[in-house]
Structure 1
Amino acid sequence: MSANLMQMWLGQFDRGELDREDAAASTVAEYEAHIAALERKVGQLTMELDLLKKTPRLQLVSNNENSSITSGPRPVPSDEDAK
């Protein structure tokens, strides 16, 4: 809510121009604007969710490979015994 709007309302109230019906209509208009903003946000989030549902998931491991975690390369057997 802007300071200018508040000043305008205070001036109208001091002059007796602001009655309950005007205040109620103003409040209803503010609520309707807030509801419209929320509806736009819900629509945006719904579209994003639908897009995410349609996007195929990235497969990190192909189906024919083991999915175990290894700590490094496999050890190579030596040709000789350890000394």
Structure 2
Amino acid sequence: KRHDLSRNLVRVWVQKYETGAFDDDAAAADTIQAYEARIAALERLVGRQALELEFLKGALRNGPPPRSGPMSVITGPAASLSPRDAG
């Protein structure tokens, strides 16, 4: 089977390889691959956060009505200490 690569093109490639011209291309390819991996990780994180937001919005819509008094997003309503608990 005959390939249509010119011998001159192969010589140019060999020259570029010998002078290290392809090293920059390899480094650029590695950088692009690292960026693509980072982008994919960030896209997964954004997707998880979007799902969490939708879940929490649904919980707020469908949950019990809020109680009066100060509330923390993390711990819920503030605890009131009775005289028995304070001692």
TM-score, normalization by structure 2: 0.47
Greater C-alpha radius of gyration: 1
> Which structure has the highest helix share of the two?
2
> Which structure has the highest strand share of the two?
2
TM-score, normalization by structure 1: 0.49
